[in-house]
Amino acid sequence: MGVADYLMLAIRWLHTMSAVAWVGGGLFYLLVLRPAIKRSGPMDRSVAATIGPEFRSLVDVSIAVLIITGAVLTFDRLTSTFVGVAYAGVLAAKVALAFYAFYLVRFLRRSSYPEEPDSKGRWPRRLVTLCTGTTAILVVGVIVFLLSELLVELFQVGLKTRTGA
């Protein structure tokens, strides 16, 4: 392995760690922290107010790292002779979903993330919350992880096909 290979390994690792931090943090928030805060009294809600900005910082750093490393990884893979149309299609879906999640966090949810806006009331407001809420962002992140694994498999198939292995 040459220096370029080690550099790409480091970039892939940074990309994965950023995704793990974001999605793992979201899972922790939704499955552990938010239920615990709801069960606790109003006195403990100050914990949520303290955690929110810290979690937003984690997400902001993760987004920056994911965009930068994702651009490098996309260029690396798309310039390879081992990818085909299926790979490009799955990659396009992954990038579109990732940018949807980035958009939600950065622009639509900036003031309240990770807290949910008030979704009581008419069904259009509930529908918007369903598509833009914390749970929706997490679901999109999990789907992006799944698509990443599919990309690895498609690349391996292309590699085996082209090299005859």
pLDDT single digits (tens) 80-119: 888 889 999 999 999 999 999 888 887 765 554 455 555 5
Q: Would you give the DSSP letter of residue 41?
A: -
Token look-up 């940018």 returns: 99
Q: Residue 10 sits in which domain range? A: 3-163
pLDDT single digits (tens) 30-57: 888 878 877 876 656 677 677 778 888 8
**Count: domains in the chain:** 1
Q: Is the dihedral of CA 78, 80, 81, 83 positive or negative?
A: negative
What band does 13 get if pLDDT is binned at 50, 70 and 90? very high
Q: Is 113 helix (H, G, I), strand (E, B) or coil?
A: coil
